[in-house]
Structure 1
Amino acid sequence: MKYKLEPGQSLDPNEFILKGFEDLEISTQIVIRDALNRGLEVEILERKSHFIRLNGNGKSRLVKEASKTELDSYMTFLVMENKTVTKRILEESNIEVPKGTSVSDISSGLEFLKKIQNRIMVVKPVTTNFGIGITILPKDSHESEQAKALELALSLSETAIIEEFAPGNEYRFLVIGDECVAVCNRIPANVKGDGKKTIRELIEEKNQDPRRGVGHVTPLEKIQLNDTELSVLKEAGKDPNTIPKSEETVFVRKNSNISTGGDSVDVTDLAHVSYKKLAVQAAKAVDAKICGVDIIVEDLSSEGKYKILELNFNPVLYIHNYPYSGKNRKVGEKILDLLGF
């Protein structure tokens, strides 16, 4: 199917659901909307894989899942997909990354962890998205906890990474071309107490926000109350029927992924220019034109210590266009610029 607006027609860029394209993930909807508003022709090649073609201005470009384009090579994708290789290349470019190792079996992982005492460690698959398979081990964690974390990571990938936990706050820097176009603070799924409602009621209330849905077709995901969330609450001495104090923030997830109910907060204007330059440098190290760079920093507003956690070859756009709070950074427009439209 091919689509093109009539002269004088336009689509509201602030409406996050694009009529007729509701089945496509929201980042793809952003690119389609922006392309149509530029007078381009949009051709849907395969809906289930979010594969489209853009035509106009004498050009034709293929785009998959909004940020996969012909401008990035397959090898660039493979490098960013493999966190061990990514870390190696970043280190060779004198970019700071968490120190650690890679293992391919549980016994090797346990042996390495025995040497690490009184330190918080992270165990994750060498290839992962949306925070799947990542475990944060507390100081002096028990061997059974370590084995469980390694088993989980190795069930999802042939290799597991064990690395030091980097203190600070994690931010997503979006690099398009030679520019860092947006910075987002992703806050783990949470609710704020009012002194009256239970955690379950607060979650139900927060999930009423029309921006929250299921399956990446809305800017935010609904907060769940499954085993992981219940475990986090139990660890904090709470359960779904607990009534938090007024203004008390209760987290039900440890990972900050928007895909697990987290909040996206635009902090582009607060980020120090040194971190934006660092994000561009990291993307260039792997020859990526479109890249999500996850950086841990202690103070975003001033130059200082940092660690780059990973590079993402298919960064979502909606956290920057439709954040939980903050400005719409119109990153779909930046991708069209990069594609030559």
Structure 2
Amino acid sequence: MTANNYGNHPLLLLSRSTESANLEGASLSFGLSSRRFSRSMFTAVDDGGKSLSFYGAMSTLTSIVGNRACRDKAIAKSMMRFAGVPTAPALRMPHKGTKSAMRFVELHGWPVVVKPLNGQGGKGVTANITSEEELRLAIKGVDSPMGFLIEKHVGGEDYRFLVAGEEVIGVWRRDAANVMGDGRSSLDELIDSKNEIRGTNPHLATRPIKKDALVLNHLKRSGLTLEYVPSAGEKIYLRSAANLSSGGDNIEITDETHPSLKAIAVRAKQTLPSIELVGVDILLEDYTLPASDQEVNICELNSMPGISAHDFPMYGKPRTAAARYLEILAAGTGVSLKDTRKQSRFLLTSYGQFNENHFADHLASICNRAGVKLLDVEGTPDRYVADLEGEPFAMSAVHALSLAPSARVGRVEGSEVKPEA
């Protein structure tokens, strides 16, 4: 497979908060205005004043209870088991609970998985543990005063189902961090080359493969080091967990995924109270086969999933997941969306405290980098208004970056972008 090339996409200008800017870009393309209060938080407003607010990809329709239940892996597991959703046996372990973990192994057998109770992106997850020594090492890396989670390791490949409302709006298969040998380069060099490819993807650019202790320990278990030179075509895995934030790859497969598997993902999301967007991580054998023909296990639920991973997969056809998510939210709240537009005029109003005319220069520099035309700008010590023209996602990048000028430029309290009528 050949990795997707997204060219000089304006969201690459952001080193963080890509989810927020991606959703804001989709909002602007639907003709909504955007009031931005931080790099992560904005409110989209229609012409009638109805609004939707977002923190990252999480909307105002997600309750604190739903978010908390999803973030605590033990609670989420319990809710799924009560609802009859297929999930591997798991149990919360106490602090320093190695003996308790070994009793779990005696009951369920090897291999097992150890995870932190709270956490995202695969941080601290160790899969396919097959000995007490490996178990002790894994527990040491994730143990907390609240304990940790142990889970029976089950077979299958790792898939992420993105559920918005009652609909699966994206599915991708994830592959743990890996490199492909060329017969000449060491693993150390191949990782650097792979990270260059990831750097061209708006979602993966800030998620490089790290040469950390987990990678080194994984290689050690296979008798390898970073100096190893794989033969041409030899694929070397660098971690056991397949999360994108840990350097994994994602392959878009939504249209080919069997409907019965999508139905299970929706059922898993429905076990959580009052939450509108959930990433459902499922281990299964073949995404084209019905659930009844294979073993299916949900290993995790995520209350702040990466929508951008579906809009910008490393492999496979990119989707418009952010736009579909907004359509679902708008249908449920009465927010009015206009026909999408690829180019528009925008009025940017920034409030705060500005030094002389430096904010105008700051804005001009950002617009130049994002490919947005700065048609006019006027300002006072506490307010700037700029007339801009460009693509909605380029405008969202400009909006996010304009919030963080230097002390020399001034301070921004908040800002608003309005598309032309």
The TM-score range, normalised by the shorter chain, is 0.7 to 0.9
Q: CA deviation at 1:299?
A: 1.6
Q: Normalising by structure 1, report the TM-score.
A: 0.87
Aligned twin of 2:288: 301
Identity of aligned residues (%): 27
Q: Aligned partners of 1:114, 1:321: CA distance in 2, in Å?
A: 40
Comparing 108-117 with 94-103, greater Cα deviation is found at 108-117
Q: CA deviation at 1:163?
A: 1.5
Structure 2: stretches of 5+ with no match in the other structure = 1-5, 331-336, 338-421
Confirm or deny that 1:17 pairs with 2:5: no
Deviations 1:126-159 (A, max 9, x none): 21211122223533x12x433332233222x613
Amino acid at match of 2:14: E
Q: Aligned partners of 2:264, 2:247: CA distance in 1, in Å?
A: 28
Q: Is the 8 A contact 2:16 2:206 kept in 1?
A: no
Aligned twin of 1:5: none
Q: Aligned partners of 1:159, 1:223: CA distance in 2, in Å?
A: 28
Q: CA deviation at 1:114?
A: 5.7
Comparing 145-154 with 71-80, greater Cα deviation is found at 145-154
Q: Is the 8 A contact 2:59 2:276 kept in 1?
A: no
Q: How many residues align?
A: 320
Equivalent in 128, 133, 138 of residue 119 of structure 2: 128
Instruction: Map 1:227-242 onto structure 2 (within 5 A).
Output: 227-242=213-228
Q: Aligned partners of 1:278, 1:103: CA distance in 2, in Å?
A: 27
Equivalent in 303, 306, 309 of residue 319 of structure 1: 309
Deviations 1:196-235 (A, max 9, x none): 222222222222226358xx86456222222222222222
Q: Aligned partners of 1:111, 1:223: CA distance in 2, in Å?
A: 32
Q: 1:326 to 1:220 in 2, by over 3 A?
A: farther
Q: Normalising by structure 2, report the TM-score.
A: 0.71
Aligned twin of 2:55: 64
Q: CA deviation at 1:112?
A: 1.7
Confirm or deny that 1:34 pairs with 2:22: no
Per the alignment, in what secondary structure is the counterpart of residue 296 of structure 1? strand
Amino acid at match of 1:249: K
Q: Is the 8 A contact 2:36 2:43 kept in 1?
A: yes
Q: Is the 8 A contact 1:106 1:147 kept in 2?
A: no
Aligned twin of 1:268: 254
Q: Aligned partners of 1:92, 1:296: CA distance in 2, in Å?
A: 19
Confirm or deny that 1:190 pairs with 2:181: no
Equivalent in 211, 219, 222 of residue 225 of structure 1: 211
Aligned twin of 2:94: 104
Per the alignment, in what secondary structure is the counterpart of residue 102 of structure 1? strand
Q: Is the 8 A contact 1:90 1:97 kept in 2?
A: yes
Instruction: Map 1:87-236 onto structure 2 (within 5 A).
Output: 87-107=77-97, 108-113=99-104, 115-116=106-107, 119-136=110-127, 138-139=129-130, 141-142=131-132, 144-155=133-144, 158-209=146-197, 211=199, 218=204, 221-236=207-222
Q: Aligned partners of 1:230, 1:223: CA distance in 2, in Å?
A: 12
Confirm or deny that 1:250 pairs with 2:236: yes
Q: Is the 8 A contact 2:128 2:240 kept in 1?
A: no
Q: 1:74 to 1:18 in 2, by over 3 A?
A: same
Structure 1: stretches of 5+ with no match in the other structure = 1-12
Q: Aligned partners of 1:24, 1:220: CA distance in 2, in Å?
A: 7
Tell me which structure has the larger Cα radius of gyration: 2
Amino acid at match of 1:153: V
Aligned twin of 1:77: 67
Q: Aligned partners of 1:324, 1:217: CA distance in 2, in Å?
A: 9
Q: Aligned partners of 1:202, 1:181: CA distance in 2, in Å?
A: 33
